[in-house]
Amino acid sequence: TFVVGENCIKCKHTDCVEVCPVDCFYEGPNFLVINPDECIDCALCEPECPVSAIFSEDELPEDQAVFLELNAELSQVWPNITEIKDAPADAADWDGVPGKLQHLER
Ligand code: SF4
Ligand code: F3S
């Protein structure tokens, strides 16, 4: 599966959802997740993210291992998203900021 990692938090550009052939992205208040049971590993979404927040499970950085479980868990409770929308106005300010997990809203 592919995994949405920490740098999506508060950036949430949503370019990723447009290319997913199986529509397996789910949207929270300031973060998106992939449903690992629905993802077909096509890899189309990874290069679409302007802040490089998407990883193959095999390439997920060790310090983001928790995001594997977060994607699985939150994709069960958040609504599906299939159309691109505007990113938050301050998205650029948050690109690459460390420790964003503490800002994850559920
Ligand atoms: Fe969707 Fe493909 Fe990305 Fe999986 S790898 S979330 S199927 S675009
Ligand atoms: Fe997040 Fe990147 Fe998609 S910021 S919403 S993973 S395009």
pLDDT by residue (tens digit) across 54-68? 999 999 999 999 999
Q: Got the DSSP string for 46-94?
A: GGG-TT--EEEGGG--GGGTHHHHHHHHHTTTSPB--S--PPPTTHHHH
Global confidence as pTM:
0.98
Q: Which residue's CA is the closest to the ligand 1 atom numbered 1?
A: 20
Q: What is the ipTM of this complex?
A: 0.98
- The mean pLDDT of 92-101, rounded to a whole number, is 98
* Residue pLDDT, tens place only, 10-52: 999 999 999 999 999 999 999 999 999 999 999 999 999 999 9
What is the model's pLDDT at position 69? 98
Cα of 4 vs centre of ligand 2, distance in Å, is 7
Q: Which residue's CA is the closest to the ligand 1 atom numbered 4?
A: 39
- Apex 43 CA angle, 53 and 93, nearest 5: 15
Q: Which of 3, 14, 39 to mutate to test the pocket of ligand 2 (most atoms within 8 A of CB)?
A: 14
